[in-house]
């Protein structure tokens, strides 16, 4: 696969590249990230290689991320060839309770400001960044419906929200004839697989395309941190990365090194290839502070992991689900009467009757 082998996002006609360029690192306003010039070079190289999907948010680097993208590609011939995604919910205005969240007042203001910074007339994919427990989902959806009908937004996505709330939103949208969420942005990596309990099954059931963020777990799975250099390298993301630097992570990194060597590749590329190959995943968000880092990570699209390699990684990382998913293994025996259904078979439940038994 290459970057110009496009995939439709969820149950929609929106074509996106298999890797999405994450722009959270665009701008040095927070003391880390890429300069304006390097950010522009990264955008140019991503587009040159066939990438068309760029993801940012209204409050990344205090709005500078959006402005960098807008100043470089907004109101240009390239803009209409790109899928530009941004997010609302984040509050840029301390002291203003309506400066963030998912209420109508906040959403419309955030959209207008994002359009201004991005120097565009429309947003291709507008994400609800994180669930606002104080706002009814009907209010959020109605405001988004108005933005879609006004031509200011093309498609809708949802990020960092419980599965049950997303299901409520899309069913509500379906029955009211409103635009539904076609994309689901979630943290997903070999170190974060709890999303497989509720969110991934929801995406598969509703036809919502998954776009994972932090596929390298804040750089922890980049190959930079190993048993051999414990304590010698200070993580770029500080306490976020340090929280995960333990035995479990080092065991995964050891295995990634073995697989990477077999593919003449790198730990980061193997970790990215694993995420991109998961069921329901459409386009994985990758960030880069340097153009060399971007080009190196894009080579993950050339990696094809074997079933045996996937099994070894699964053994190290498969999550333990809670109720009711932890009972799922029992259900074929309870449901199927000892037969095989869709290739799933199990011994009949002891609660079932035996030959000669009376059924009441």
SS3 284: strand
Strands 19-22 and 53-55: parallel
Distances (CA, A) of 261 to 2, 220, 221, 309: 21, 19, 15, 12
At 221, list the tokens. 């799975």
At 350, list the tokens. 């002891």
Task: Count Cβ atoms below 10 Å from residue 71 Cβ, excluding itself.
Answer: 17
SS3 270: helix
Going by C-alpha positions, the residue among 310, 88, 278 that lies closest to residue 187 is 278
Per this entry, what is the length of the chain?
Answer: 360
For the chain, how long is the longest CA-to-CA vector?
81
CB 72 within 8 A of CB 78: no
At 242, list the tokens. 């340090």
Beta strand segments in the chain, E: 7-8, 15-16, 19-22, 53-55, 83-88, 123-128, 153-159, 181-187, 209-213, 284-287, 340-341, 344-345
Task: Count Cβ atoms below 10 Å from residue 240 Cβ, excluding itself.
Answer: 14
- 114: phi then psi, degrees, rounded to nearest 5: -65, -40
Residue 33 to residue 49: CA distance in whole angstroms: 22
Residue 143 to residue 152: CA distance in whole angstroms: 12
CB 283 within 8 A of CB 16: yes
Q: Which of 6, 60, 122, 126 is catalytic?
A: 60
Residue 126 known to be catalytic? no
Just list the catalytic residues.
Answer: 60
């Amino acid at each position: 696969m290459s970057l110009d082998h496009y995939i439709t996002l969820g149950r929609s006609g929106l074509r996106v590249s298999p890797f999405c360029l994450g722009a959270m690192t665009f701008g040095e306003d927070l003391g880390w990230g890429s300069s304006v010039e390097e950010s522009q070079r990264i955008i140019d190289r991503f587009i040159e290689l066939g990438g068309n999907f760029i993801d940012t948010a209204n409050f990344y680097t205090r709005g500078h991320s959006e402005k960098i993208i807008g100043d470089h590609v907004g109101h240009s011939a390239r803009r209409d060839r790109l899928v530009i995604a941004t997010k609302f919910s984040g509050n840029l205005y301390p002291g203003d309770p309506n400066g963030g969240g998912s209420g109508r007042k906040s959403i419309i203001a955030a959209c207008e400001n994002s359009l201004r910074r991005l120097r565009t007339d429309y947003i291709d994919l507008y994400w609800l960044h994180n669930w606002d427990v104080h706002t009814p989902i009907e209010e959020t959806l109605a405001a988004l419906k108005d933005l879609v009908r006004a031509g200011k937004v093309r498609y809708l996505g949802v990020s960092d929200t419980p599965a049950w709330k997303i299901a409520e939103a899309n069913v509500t949208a379906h029955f009211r004839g409103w635009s539904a969420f076609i994309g689901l942005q979630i943290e997903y990596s070999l170190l974060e697989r709890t999303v497989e309990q509720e969110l991934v099954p929801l995406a598969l059931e509703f036809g919502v395309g998954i776009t994972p963020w932090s596929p390298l777990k804040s750089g922890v799975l980049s190959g930079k941190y190993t048993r051999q250099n414990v304590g010698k390298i200070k993580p770029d993301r500080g306490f976020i990365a340090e929280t995960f630097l333990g035995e479990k992570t080092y065991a995964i990194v050891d295995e990634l090194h073995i697989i990477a060597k077999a593919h003449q590749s790198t730990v980061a590329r193997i970790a990215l290839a694993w995420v991109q190959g998961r069921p329901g995943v459409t386009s994985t968000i990758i960030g880069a502070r340097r153009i060399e880092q971007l080009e190196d990570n894009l080579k993950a699209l050339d990696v094809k992991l074997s079933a045996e390699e996937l099994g070894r990684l699964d053994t190290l990382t498969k999550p333990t689900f809670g109720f009711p998913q932890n009972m799922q293994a029992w259900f074929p025996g309870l449901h199927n009467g000892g037969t095989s259904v869709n290739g799933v078979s199990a011994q009949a439940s002891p609660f079932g009757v035996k030959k000669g038994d009376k059924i009441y």
